Amino acid sequence: MFDWIFSLLSHDLGIDLGTANTLVYVKDKGIMIREPSVVARHRKTKKIIAIGREAKHMLGRTPDTIEALRPLKDGVIADFDATAAMLTHYIKLVHEQPRQKGFPSIPKPKVVVGIPSGVTEVERRAAAEAAIMAGAREVYLIEEPMAAAIGAGLPIQESRGSFICDIGGGTTEIAVLSLGGIVVNRSIRTAGDEMDEAIVSFVRLKHALLIGEQTAEEVKMTIGSAYPIDKTERQTVVRGRDIETGLPRSVRLSEAEIREAVSPVVHEIIEAIGETIEETPPELIGDIMEHGIVLAGGGSKLKGIEKLIATELKMPVWITDDPQTAVVRGCGKLLSDPVLLAKVKIAARKIS
Ligand code: ADP
Ligand code: MG
């Protein structure tokens, strides 16, 4: 009886521990948290100063005493303590409700965490450990492409092959799924962050202007594209520091220039998709030719990317609805489907 009441009170969580963004899905409630995966702390004492949006704003602006860092930068847990602090913060935020008099404290939640498929055993253990430290009672780790495919509503349990490509900040995860498992997968550390870096170098080389990565990301989101779609192309003005004079200067950038800047990065992603197709068993190729490649992740919001991939690989390409939340929605769906969860999990850890 108490168990049942507890299960109503305790909100199980689905977490997308992304390199760029962390999202938390609360069972029966939906997505409650959507924040950048950034932590700002004191360099010496390691005391946390800010987490999420506030910390992201500090990136590239901190004095020597403070460091603003992305604990998962390249798709791995680069900084365990910062990752654990971030998880603890978000789990507490959605989980802690005022304790009523006479009621026992609310039990710890069950948590499903999506992690990049390329991570090592050690990194997996670190992710599970971080969730336990953050207050989870049971942790299930699932691979991000699997979570993204479930979130996108692909029929992953059927014998039909499904192809998913999740372009995030630090990693692009590509996988072919069938019968509830991953048949082929590839995880490359080339994604949205590299597009930003490419824009920074382009502006430095072409315009002798130094801009920050955050400015580059804004440029990518406002006028970035992978394929020329509209006749009238967009423009934007950025401010930076002149390399020669060292003084502030602004420059006008065009959509075509940004397309040129990000093109090598986009082509690296397309190449990885092509290689994954080459490794796909022939029986599944037909399904993929018919149903197409499904894109997820924030990087798939780069204008025209689906068009370029379709043209280069001669395959149908779709972007799933709300691509940036596909992984967390997949984790959320698994909270209510223990049978599927048991089938697709790659690791589990419980505290007794
Ligand atoms: P992760 O799963 O690694 O946390 P996300 O799926 O949240 O990453 O995607 C983050 C990436 O998506 C970032 O590189 C961000 O710049 C990029 N992104 C978000 N919106 C857009 C957009 N409209 N156009 C291009 N890139 C975008
Ligand atoms: Mg992701």
> Residue 326: CB within 6 Å of ligand 1?
no
pLDDT at 98: 54
The per-residue pLDDT for range 218-252, each reduced to its tens digit, is 999 999 999 998 888 899 999 999 999 999 999 99
Q: Which residue of 16, 17, 19, 225 sits with most ligand 1 atoms within 8 Å of its CB, as the best mutation to test the pocket?
A: 19
What's the 16 CA to ligand 2 centre distance in angstroms?
A: 7
Task: Tell me: pLDDT of 203 over 70.
Answer: yes
Interacting residues of 315 by C-beta distance below 8 A, sequence separation 6+: 277, 288, 289, 292, 293, 309
The per-residue pLDDT for range 281-339, each reduced to its tens digit, is 999 999 999 999 999 999 999 999 999 999 999 999 999 999 999 999 999 999 999 99
The per-residue pLDDT for range 85-118, each reduced to its tens digit, is 998 898 888 876 555 555 556 678 899 999 888 7
> Residue 17: CB within 6 Å of ligand 1?
no
> Residue 265: CB within 6 Å of ligand 1?
no
Q: One-letter amino acid identity for 109?
A: P
pLDDT at 93: 85
Q: Which ligand is nearest to the CA of 324?
A: 1
The pTM assigned to this predicted structure is 0.93
Task: Kindly report which listed range (10-19, 65-74, 104-113, 338-347) carries the lowest average pLDDT score.
Answer: 104-113
CA atoms within 13 A of residue 10's CA, in its CB half-sphere = 20
Q: Which ligand is nearest to the CA of 171?
A: 1
What's the 237 CA to ligand 1 centre distance in angstroms?
A: 21
